[in-house]
Amino acid sequence: MIKFCDDFFKIMRKINLGKTGEQIPILGQGTWGIKKGKNKEYYNSWKSSLRKGIELGMTHIDTAEFYGLGTSEKTVGEVIAEYDRDELFITSKLFPMHMGFNAMKKAAYRSLKRLGIKNFDLYLIHWPSPITSKQKQMKILDFLIKEGKARYVGVSNFSVEQFKKSQTYLNAELVTNQLHANITKQEHIVDSLPYYTEKGVTLTAYSPLGHRGYTSLKGELRETINKIAESHNATIQQIAIAWLINHKNVMSIPKAFHIKHVEENAKAADISLSETELKLIESNGTH
């Protein structure tokens, strides 16, 4: 097991998780895209990228039972077993198609087993369920907190109204809503973030680079991003990530299959954008 020391990994800028007092890296690592049934080289590449991210201070790793039908959790579990558990912050998510309390409990326990950990640092409901009431979904979160299987809980892909309603059924506090937010999908930052900031809830932005890393980004937004990137000696991808985490109360979980991309992502945490730059990107984006 690797023990952390002061010079082992870079100190990543931190953010408060909701009102918990817990500070976690403002940039974590997403693992959506880890597929089932690939060869050893494929999984080794993912593992190397995750290790590099940990080394660079991105010690928050986000996964879900839905990703690769458990393959992502298993892969993450194999990596985090190499490190001091107390130095890592592990998030997973419950797929919303489980009907009933026992089914949801078993799913959460299977996730813990695949990850090889005793408890989640953060456990989320992945999507609002079309078949299970929010009251039942919140009941499993309260149970996991009570049983010590989750330190904190939250939701993902919930609207503000769905978030508000869910909190009324929960004894614990929902500390985050994990949402699809980036420079080309700004509505959650522009419209929803003010509510979460007021309530002391952290917004976690996933897919900060879309699905193609903005390699085909065009128009005024591309021109704006290019100019800002040049002034910061950065890539457009780093500016896209920086735009999110330069908003108060926002953290992000970019995924990266290659070590080079992990290193580039991590550097985005050091970029400070002015209010003018933030507004320029907002005005040229879509929301």
Domain assignment present for residue 239? The answer is no
Encode the chain (287 residues) as per-residue pLDDT tens digits.
655 544 556 789 999 999 999 999 999 999 999 999 999 999 999 999 999 999 999 999 999 999 999 999 999 999 999 999 999 999 999 999 998 999 999 999 999 999 999 999 999 999 999 888 999 999 999 999 999 999 999 999 999 999 999 999 999 999 999 999 999 999 999 999 999 999 999 999 999 998 778 988 999 999 999 999 999 999 999 999 999 999 999 999 999 999 999 999 999 999 999 999 999 999 876 65
Q: What are phi and psi of 95, to 5 degrees?
A: -70, 140
Residue 80's CATH number: 3.20.20.100
Contact 83, 1 (CB under 8 A): yes
Domain assignment present for residue 278? The answer is no
Distance CA 87, CA 205 (A): 22
pLDDT for the residue numbered 6: 47
The two three-digit tokens of residue 166, written as one number: 């869910």
Q: What are phi and psi of 86, to 5 degrees?
A: -65, -15
Domain assignment present for residue 59? The answer is yes
pLDDT for the residue numbered 5: 47
Number of domains in the chain: 1
Tens-digit pLDDT profile for residues 184-237: 999 999 999 999 999 999 999 999 998 778 988 999 999 999 999 999 999 999
pLDDT for the residue numbered 216: 87
Phi-psi domain of 265 (left: phi exceeds 0; alpha: psi -120 through 50; beta: other):
alpha
Domain assignment present for residue 287? The answer is no
User: What Å distances lie between residue 82 and 72, 126, 167, 184, CA to CA?
Assistant: 16, 27, 36, 37
Domain assignment present for residue 1? The answer is no
pLDDT for the residue numbered 9: 60
Q: Domain range spanning residue 32?
A: 14-213+248-260
pLDDT for the residue numbered 211: 74
Domain assignment present for residue 241? The answer is no
Helix (H) / strand (E) element for 25: namely strand 23-25
Residues 190-202: b if buried by 16+ CB within 10 A, e if exposed: eebbeebeebebb
Domain assignment present for residue 229? The answer is no
